Every structure is written in structure tokens, then in C-alpha cells.
Chains A and B, each alone.
Chain A
Amino acid sequence: MVALATAFKPAATGASLEVKDVSHAFDIDGNVLPVLDNVSISVAPGEFVALLGPSGCGKSTLLRLVAGLEPPRAGALEEDGVAITGPYPSRVVVFQDPTLFPWRTVWDNVALGLEAQGVLKTQRHRVDAAIDLVGLGAFKKAYPHQLSGGMAQRVALARALVNDPRILVLDEPLGKLDSLTRITMQAELVSLWQRNGFTALLVTHDVEEALFLANRVIVFSDRPARVTADITVDRPYPRHRGDPHLAELRRQILGLLGLDATW
């Protein structure tokens, strides 16, 4: 996979992301349920930021705002200083479920972004390169129902990467995978990010995953989500899961999340 990746040349590098005083709420059955409370985050171009927090705290909502799928109730979001007003292929989200189009083959799923931009005819090689990049070259003609969960998630990743995203938004993309596939894909994500230079924003509930992947870990409070800690993970890649510095950070973060980890 690493050898194939050299054929995949990104056209753009990472964008910066500004989340400025964003608050958001949902109306549920007539009641207003606040989910984000005055959240401000600044992400530098090419940075890998992980968002950690208790389950249901509003992390995923923040990603939907970054993707432009919903406008925030208050505050503003900017990509490279330009306000985010709607979904755009430079900010693709990879969800926990791969949300592939079941009527399209692997190749056609990955090709949709280029097809929508009207450049597919001249850029077919980019689709092949993206599929090879996630190691599914032999499954180009397979339909989503023929794939395992890990393979489907890789197709979703390829479908995002083919657009040369400037911000890759990852919403627990490995959450439903078995731990063996998850560990493999974590290492793949790191090398993809290092090679392509995009900015990455990852929501996860797995502290170890956040520490293995990210430059920075931002910890959220319970709902409504507020930023409670912004921790820089100053370790070189590839990281080792047994690194004592990471273990210490893990203990700290678990403490912030209200868990007293003794091992």
C-alpha cells in the first residue's frame, strides 16, 4: 500500500480552520437542548486534531457544522478565513457508517465526487489511485454489500480522499471496526495524513486512538460541550502504543473525562 501511494499526488495542502464562539442547540419535542456552548477552536493548516469527550456530548454536531451540513445557532466557522456556509468537497466527512451508495460499485462510489465536478472523463486515474491507496484494487467492481465493514470504511475514505480534501473530517470512522482492523487503519490514517498534508479533524471516544494519531487532543465536557482541555501531543510519528509519555497523557485525559485510571 505504501508503494502504491507514491502515485497519488495531492493537489492542495491543508487549510486552517477557525471555530469562533460557536453555540448550537436542538429542538427536541418543543424543548431546546443545548449541545455546544461557546466553543472556540483554532486548527493550523496540516494539523491533526482529535476531539474527545463523553458520549453524546456534541462532538459529532460540531463536525456537522464544520462540514456545513447545518448552520450554527451562534458564532462562526471559517475555512482559511472564508465563512463555511454549506457542504463542499474540500471538507468531506467520513462517518462512523461508511454511507456508501449501495447501487454503485466501489469504483463508481469513489468516482462520484469527480463526476459531480464534471472532471471524471479526464481524471479517471485519480479514482484508481485512491482505491489503490486504501488497498482495494482487487475490489473495484464489487458492490458495497459484498464488502466487510473495514473494507467499506476504506472505500468511504477513498471516496473522500479522491477529492483532495483540504480538511478531512473523521467522525469516529473506526468506531465500528473490530480492534485488529482498527489498529491497521489507524496506522494507515497516519501515513495518509503525513503524505497528503491535509488538515484532519477526528472525533473519537477512544483516548488511545486520539493519542496515537493526533498533534493535539481537545477534551470536551458533558453536554452542552465546552472545551475543558487542549493538550499538545508532542511525540514524533510513527508512535508506539507503549510510549510512557503517551501513557501519562492517557491517564491525565481519562482523569479529565472523570475516569480514575489506575492501570
Chain B
Amino acid sequence: MQIQLSHPARTVEVKGPKKVKDLLRELNLVVEAHLVIKGDDLVTEDEMLYDGDQIEIRPVISGG
């Protein structure tokens, strides 16, 4: 599946199926600092992601 990341903007390919929390762990990303969006929908950490899914991992932290 294609994973879209930000800061800097890039796309990485990850083999599915995989749970959201495992994907974040694999990419060394902290749950509290990110949202995972499948297509147009927000998904929880126990959601299973499959090859072919369009995934965006969006950082939520700003300089504030």
C-alpha cells in the first residue's frame, strides 16, 4: 500500500495487511502525534490496512 507522509512530503510503499498501530511502529511514528486517514476516513489504531489502500499519515504537531 502507498503511504503519504508529510514534513517533508513523500510517499513510501509498505506491504499489507497491517494494523494501523503496527504501521506507525514500523515507521517509528508516535500515535499521539499523528492521524491515519484511509481514503477520506479517519481510522483507529486497530484498523487493518490492505495492499491497494490509499493511506495518509498526517502529523498534528505545530510550532504554536
Q: Do A and B come from one complex?
A: no
